[in-house]
Amino acid sequence: MEWFFTQLGVPPTLRGQPWHFVFERPAPTWLWLVVAIALVSISIFSYTNIKGSRRTRFFLGSLRTTVLFIIALLLMQPVLEWPQEKIEQDFVEVLVDRSSSLQVRDMVDDQNKIISRVEYQNKILQNGVWDRLAQDHKLEWVAVTGNSIVVPNKQALPEAQGNRTLLASAMRETLQRNLGRPLSAVVVISDGRSQDVINSTTLRQIQTLAVPVFTIALGDPNGVNDQSIVSVEAPQSGFLQDQIPIQAQLNTRKPNKKIRVVLKEKDSQRKIDEQEVISGADGMVSVTLVGQGSKPGEAIWEVAIVGDPDADQSNDSQRVDITLIERPIRVLYMDGWPRWEFRYIKNILLREKGIESSIMLLSADRDFAQEGTTPLARLPRTEKEFAAFDVIILGDVPAGFLNTTQQKIIRDQVAKRGTGILWIAGDRSTPSSWRGTPMEDLLPFRGSLDLPRLDQPAYMEPTELAIRIGMFRLGNTQENEQSWPREISPGGESWGKLEWVQRIDTRDLKPTTEVLANAVTQQTENLNTTSESNKGTPMVLTMRYGAGQSTFVATDETWRWRYGRGETLPERFWIQLIRHLARSGLRNNAGLSLLVDPPRAATNQPVRIVVDLAEAQASDVVIVEAFQATSGKNVDITLKPEGGNQFSTVWIAPSDGEGVWKFRIRQPKTPETPEATLTIIQEDTERIDATPDHAALEKLSVATKGQVVATSNIDALENLIPRRSFTIRQPIQIPLWNQWIIFAILITLLTTEWIGRRILKFM
């Protein structure tokens, strides 16, 4: 047989294995019987009349029968077959949630210790049931976040840091990947949080394949004790001695919950400010922290929630980057006559550290009276002279004291350079004398400028906007007083009333005007209604005008507050207004400006970049360089002209650019270039609301005839998952009907029979 197999070309590996004959064209049994009878009959008939010994004739007849039988066999195409079988293993897809919501600490281990969801998940993955399942099924491990990633084994699963979960998408990809394969079951280990929904189409597809889904739910279904900082807004730059407001939005997902939040230096952990707030009915609350820098340059602050233990501490803080500029705020104060408000504001400016003031008192009988830390010999006349000031204060000044050219220069300084302008109402000239002048555009209201006086004294009451942006914090926080003192609030001390206030109709406010404080009279105070018409009239109004800001104060009676605490209250009121106006228009000496808005953005979020060349050399092309020091990434951004010397574009924050980016003007070349900062964050939708969704997992299991498996009963998977493996026959066949050795044997038999028959005929 060894020689025979060699002639047939049988591989050596098969020669020791069992084999058998099969026919590619087998005949039915009855046909075999008929053929056998026919072949024997033909052989007998062929040698009936031939002379010779009986033995010889029997031998030759047997040869003929054998030859005919071999020919009949060859017609049915005989082959040698070695049976070979292959077991097609079924698959079990294990979808493992690896999003950042698994970092929440709301689960309890066997030792009654609070651990995170991912720690509990890792304990589940260490269970021996997975090794036992791997003996009967082929396990395929899939990491589920925003994408589905197949990993070689459970040890290769990535860290739980995904910023979202797309469970429905992962299910669709799993079904697509297993088309044509025996899929026994899908196991999902997740907290159920998903940004997409498993719709009826996907469910029908799973039901059609009869694939059960077994879910293992993580997290505390009763909710998460988690407090988070949703967003932080802060100016990109401020003066070193400035009180810089930092606005933060917090979320507790629980109503009426106290939250303590602090503002501190990130490196030294020095506390700058601290507030305690109470969440609203939706669990959300906004808070404004106010900070002052300790040294010039780049400052890295941090807003952090402190106090009660938190389930997810990774979202309890956010970084704030601010550039602190060490130079005084330059203020030009012009007033028409020596009224009480002028006297006190003048003294405030003279003694306030961090402010350089030029004070000019105008009158009808002389050109001016100069005072301040930097006295002027005359009124500024040119654009360069006005550009030296960050804030211009206009008291009760007749419009005629500034000619048309000077007024246009001031208006342009506000619009282009970001200079702040502060109007202080007066009963003689402001705002009545400014109608029809270029400066009228800077007033935050329209209509008649002959404003009437309120019928009775009024208290000043800050609006929610003022509180939100950190304005008018006049109280002494060391004495635990309110931000706005009770004595000058509606219903407070008699000396807190302002005797003279101009009435401004809210219908006359310009579209971009915002109210920082209202005038509340005794009559308004006594009204038990919340309609808009009974909330007082605007007293402090502010309006964005181009790059700068204009603020109007409809009273000159804040000096009355000195009766309560000396000059503390009016000083804090006016200094905060001045610093706010100066901060909003920070520019360098060359007049160049570079703005990146917003200063904090999520990946793939559009960011607007604006460059104002101002007095710098004009250019057809402006290129801004964006670079990230930590990663070494560098990008050139070309800006398009907007008219004048302004250029802008929209840049998409790169998806892989998380961190702090610096921007500076690379072209045209300038002696000094301003810098802007952009903080790019990964928008982590998982951490905004990490409450587990066990109901969604249960719905998925019920719809697919699977089961929710308790975390304490993981071993049950071994008996729950069905077996769908099957055997595939793949025999190895070598045909005989076309082999030379078979034909050689056939020819040999035919030749032997023919020769024997010829011999018998001649005997």
| pLDDT the model gives residue 311 | 67
| Sequential DSSP letters for 508-567 | GB-TTEEEEEEEEEHHHHH-----GGGS-EEEEEEEEETTEEEEEE-BS-GGGGHHHHTB
Per-residue pLDDT reduced to its tens digit, 636-661? 999 988 766 778 899 998 888 888 88
Please state, for a pLDDT cut of 90, what percent of the chain lies above it: 34
Beta-bridge mates of residue 544: 549
pLDDT greater at residue 156 or residue 227: 156
- CB-based contact 66:720 (threshold 8 Å): no
pLDDT greater at residue 494 or residue 52: 494
Longest dimension (CA), the chain: 169
Q: Judge whether residue 544 has pLDDT over 60.
A: yes
Per-residue pLDDT reduced to its tens digit, 431-455? 999 999 999 999 999 998 999 999 9
Q: Judge whether residue 469 has pLDDT over 90.
A: no
Half-sphere exposure of 42 (CA within 13 A, CB side): 13
| pLDDT the model gives residue 231 | 80
Q: Quote the CA–CA distance of 672 and 680 in Å, as a whole number.
A: 26
Q: Which range (180-189, 305-314, 417-426) has the least confidence?
A: 305-314
Per-residue pLDDT reduced to its tens digit, 194-238? 888 888 888 888 888 888 999 999 988 776 667 888 888 888 788
- CB-based contact 341:424 (threshold 8 Å): yes
| pLDDT the model gives residue 364 | 42
Q: Quote the CA–CA distance of 709 and 747 in Å, as a whole number.
A: 73
pLDDT band for position 589 (50/70/90)?
very low
| pLDDT the model gives residue 531 | 41
- CB-based contact 91:182 (threshold 8 Å): yes
DSSP state of 501: B
Helix (H, G, I), strand (E, B) or coil at 140: strand
Closest by Cα among 213, 207, 141, 216 to 184: 213
Per-residue pLDDT reduced to its tens digit, 559-576? 999 886 788 899 999 999
Query: 3-state SS of 426-446?
Result: CCCCCCHHHCCCHHHHHCCEC
Q: Report yes or no on whether pTM surpasses 0.85.
A: no
Q: Quote the CA–CA distance of 147 and 31 in Å, as a whole number.
A: 64
- CB-based contact 407:434 (threshold 8 Å): no
| Sequential DSSP letters for 649-718 | EEEEPPTT--EEEEEEEEES--SS--EEEEEEE---HHHH-----HHHHHHHHHHTT-EEPPTT-GGGHH
Going from the C-alpha of 180 to that of each of 13, 87, 325, 393, 517, the distances in angstroms are: 32, 15, 67, 79, 71
- CB-based contact 618:645 (threshold 8 Å): yes
Give the domains, in start order, of the chain with CATH numbers: 2-84+732-762 (no CATH), 88-219+692-726 (3.40.50.410), 228-323 (2.60.40.150), 329-583 (3.40.50.880), 593-681 (2.60.40.10)
Q: Quote the CA–CA distance of 527 and 522 in Å, as a whole number.
A: 9
Give the residue-averaged pLDDT of 309-320. 78
pLDDT band for position 529 (50/70/90)?
very low
Going from the C-alpha of 284 to that of each of 54, 245, 249, 683, the distances in angstroms are: 115, 19, 7, 18
| pLDDT the model gives residue 683 | 65
| pLDDT the model gives residue 393 | 96
pLDDT band for position 754 (50/70/90)?
confident
Contacts of 211 (CB under 8 A, 6+ apart): 175, 183, 184, 185, 186, 704
Helix, strand, coil distribution of the chain in percent, nearest 5? 30, 30, 40
Q: How many CB atoms lie under 10 A from the CB of residue 337? A: 16
Q: Which range (304-318, 348-362, 505-519) has the least confidence?
A: 304-318
Q: Quote the CA–CA distance of 191 and 311 in Å, as a whole number.
A: 14
DSSP state of 370: E
Helix (H, G, I), strand (E, B) or coil at 84: coil
Is-cis flag, bond preceding 692, omega within 30?
no
| Sequential DSSP letters for 716-758 | GHHHHSPP--EEEE--EEEESTT-HHHHHHHHHHHHHHHHHHH
Per-residue pLDDT reduced to its tens digit, 32-78? 888 888 888 888 888 877 777 888 888 888 888 888 888 888 888 88
Residue type, 580: H
Going from the C-alpha of 519 to that of each of 499, 515, 647, the distances in angstroms are: 11, 11, 41
Q: Quote the CA–CA distance of 225 and 386 in Å, as a whole number.
A: 55
Closest by Cα among 250, 256, 318 to 284: 250
- Give me the phi and psi of 395, to 5 degrees please: -85, -140
Q: Which range (2-16, 250-264, 287-301, 456-470) has the least confidence?
A: 2-16
Q: Which range (105-114, 348-357, 614-623) has the least confidence?
A: 614-623
- CB-based contact 305:687 (threshold 8 Å): no
| pLDDT the model gives residue 663 | 92
Q: Quote the CA–CA distance of 449 and 433 in Å, as a whole number.
A: 8
Stretch (H or E) spanning 406: helix 404-412
Per-residue pLDDT reduced to its tens digit, 106-152? 888 888 888 889 999 999 999 999 999 999 899 999 999 888 899 99
Helix (H, G, I), strand (E, B) or coil at 61: helix
Closest by Cα among 464, 595, 560, 561 to 517: 464
Stretch (H or E) spanning 55: helix 54-75
| pLDDT the model gives residue 615 | 61
| pLDDT the model gives residue 127 | 92
Alpha helices in 126-179 (DSSP H): 129-136, 167-177
| pLDDT the model gives residue 591 | 58
Please state, for a pLDDT cut of 70, what percent of the chain lies above it: 91
